[in-house]
Amino acid sequence: MSRRLGNMVVKKSRAVKIIESLQRAKVMILGDLMLDRYLWGNVERISPEAPVPVVHIEKETSNLGGAANVAANVNALGAYPFLVGVIGDDQYALELKKNLRGKKLPISGLVTDPKRPTTVKTRIVAHSQQVVRVDRENLDEIDSELVSSLISKTKKYLNQIDGIIISDYGKGIITRDLLAGIIPMAVSAGKFIAVDPKEVHFMNYKDVSVITPNHHEAGFVSGRKITNERILTDVGWNLLKTLNLESLLITRGEKGMALFEKDGDLTHIPTEAKTVYDVTGAGDTVIAALTVAKTAGASMKEAAYIANIAASLAVARFGTARVTRDELLGAINNKK
């Protein structure tokens, strides 16, 4: 296979045309649903019981996390999301559904499992700084009955969608059996399949359209720490070949992104971020923008370019941020 190296160049007029077409896309999001809770307050003293700050809570808020945040990102870009996942039978499931309804996101694809809690991440924030995070979750893999339910939901939506995002946070929803049931079905139907991966399942993502690991994840599963361009290149091409991927997008923080494609192209996309305030949820923004753009008619390179700009907007905000289609248009039009 010949390999060609290049840098990303997309004309402004073409980028605008793609963004204006994002509403065409219909995307199913399958994965670990989470509720992000925030306890906001201030610190005025240290506890006499232990050397820890005493946070006086002033307000509580909640937001969508994990696969639910990916769906919210898809929706914010103007596309239509189909959300599929598992929730518990508890107060946090009700709060999660309330948040979904509040953003006009569908809940018909949710499956309730009374035996496991809804995944909740609670962050205590004082003076705009996160003090501690408390996780409430069950990391055990879902049973075969739930796997069958999720496969049935996917099959039901398959003819209505253009692509699938598998949002794997390692919380037990994405299993080897689930991937074995869904990926061949989606490939056979000609659907675009994007995966936001977890290291433990990497070898089960074979034959998908694109995987979007960060450089730490890509290096870990390859047994090599990515410290230079040569190792990055070796790791990228080896993963692409081993997993029989159409493409691989490695996100590299301040170094931007590297897009490997099956036809032999390696494209470097420099970062657009000028201010990095909080990277929480940036991966959700990347895979949402990438998938929506690709299924709306962009090439893989163009979709990665759009995703890179969306990520630069997301990291400039605190907490899980969603980038809207209008914000993307504004960012494109402001480029020189």
Q: In Å, how far are 32, 52, 96, 117 from 101, measured between CA atoms?
A: 18, 38, 9, 20
Is 113 assigned a catalytic role?
A: no
Burial of 58 by CB count in 10 Å (0-12 exposed, 13-18 middle, 19+ buried)? exposed
How many residues does the structure list for the chain?
Answer: 336
Q: Out of 90, 278, 284, 326, which one is annotated catalytic? A: 284
- How many CA atoms, within 13 angstroms, populate the side-chain half-sphere of residue 77? 39
- Based on C-alpha coordinates, what's the Rg of the chain? 20
CA geometry: angle 247, 148, 32, nearest 5 deg: 55
Active site residues: 284
